[in-house]
Amino acid sequence: MATVDRPRPPLGEALEAARQAAGLSQNEAASRAGVTSGTWGTAVRGGRQIKGMGFDQITPKPDTVAKMAVAVGLNVKHALRLAGYTPTDLSPTVDRRQIKYDLSFIPDDQLNAEVRRREQRKQAEGGDTPKP
């Protein structure tokens, strides 16, 4: 069976661009992420070619996506979105301090409503009074 050139999935494109911008080899990026170079390559390609069976599409688990993104300086929330996940899909063991949340895609009215809700909750719990 002939190998077919496939376009990279959006996550693969972003990981490769970030890896190259960081000046890392695939092996270095994989090592930083704590995955094998085979896992890195599979994520970038969006799957693997299985002899006699065709192409098997594979999307890494959310925690793996996060580790890979951190390894190359890619925004984790963006990488998760590209893979079809959200930060809520991450396991509780992921160190969330490494995740830089990009809130630019959330409409201002939703962000403001969340800030007001948190201020009201804090006030109800006896915390500071909300700002006018």
- Tell me how far apart the alpha carbons of residues 76 and 40 are, in angstroms, rounded to a whole number: 16
Residues 94, 61: contact at Cβ < 8 Å? no
Residues 67, 18: contact at Cβ < 8 Å? no
Beta strands in the chain (DSSP E): 47-50, 54-57
- Tell me how far apart the alpha carbons of residues 80 and 66 are, in angstroms, rounded to a whole number: 7
Q: Which amino acid belongs to residue 109?
A: D
Q: Which of 60, 61, 78 lies closest to 17, judged by CA?
A: 78
Q: What is the pTM of this model?
A: 0.65
Q: Which amino acid belongs to residue 121?
A: R
Residues in the chain: 132
What is the pLDDT of the chain when averaged over all its residues? 78
- The string of pLDDT tens digits covering residues 24-74 is 999 999 999 999 998 898 888 876 666 777 655 778 889 999 999 988 988
Q: How far is CA 113 from the centre of its chain?
A: 26
